[in-house]
């Protein structure tokens, strides 16, 4: 994911991608950190929060990223 985003910065980060990252039990936290650092304005929807909540591997860590202050790009 990191290589893709660094070589193709125009790659759209869709809600489907963010939801899949939130569900990822083994590296969801790391992928979500990467996505949020690439685009801090990604909307965190109810669907994404639900996906993270069902993640038994690292859901708590992913949820913590949602409440952490993000850069606003200004």
Encode pLDDT of 14-24 as tens digits.
999 999 999 99
Does 18 reside within a domain?
Answer: yes
Pairwise CA distance, residues 19 & 44, whole Å:
9
On the question of pLDDT at 43 being above 50, the answer is: yes
Predicted TM-score (pTM) of the model is: 0.83
Does 27 reside within a domain?
Answer: yes
pLDDT value for 6: 77
Please give the residue range of the domain that contains residue 44.
Answer: 2-67
On the question of pLDDT at 48 being above 70, the answer is: yes
Does 73 reside within a domain?
Answer: no
28 by Cβ neighbours in 10 Å (0-12 / 13-18 / 19+) ranks as: buried
Q: Which two tokens stand for residue 23?
A: 């569900």
14 conformational bin, left if phi > 0, alpha if psi -120 to 50, beta if neither = beta
Does 10 reside within a domain?
Answer: yes
Q: How many domains does one find in the chain?
A: 1
Does 31 reside within a domain?
Answer: yes
Does 74 reside within a domain?
Answer: no
Q: Which of 8-12, 36-40, 48-52 has the lowest mean pLDDT?
A: 8-12
First CA to last CA distance, the chain: 25
């Amino acid at each position: 994911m990191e290589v893709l985003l660094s070589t193709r910065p125009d790659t759209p980060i869709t809600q489907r991608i963010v939801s899949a990252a939130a569900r990822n039990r083994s590296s969801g936290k790391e992928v979500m950190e990467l996505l949020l650092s690439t685009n801090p304005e990604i909307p965190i929807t109810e669907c994404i929060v639900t996906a993270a909540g069902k993640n038994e591997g690292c859901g708590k860590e992913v949820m913590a990223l949602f409440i952490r202050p993000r850069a606003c790009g200004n």
